[in-house]
Amino acid sequence: MAESGAIARIIGDRGYGLIRDARGQELFFHATSVEVADFEETA
């Protein structure tokens, strides 16, 4: 299942971050799951 939302936090040196969804929950994502942007540029 793909979730969407705004990036809440990026931990670039570890290769992951958190997305805040419409309900206000923070969801984990790994750099390998980023499809639209280059994770290194985002971090």
Alpha carbon of residue 18 to chain centroid: 5
pLDDT of residue 38: 65
Could you state, in order of their start, the residue ranges of all structural domains in the chain? 6-42
CA distances from 43 to 32, 36, 38 (A): 13, 14, 9
Q: What angle do CA 14, 18, 21 make, to 5 degrees?
A: 165
Label residue 6 left, alpha or beta by phi (over 0 means left) and psi (-120 to 50 means alpha): beta
Q: Are strands 26-30 and 6-11 parallel, antiparallel or unpaired?
A: unpaired
Q: What is the pLDDT of residues 2-41, one digit of tens each?
A: 677 888 998 989 989 999 999 999 999 888 877 666 656 6
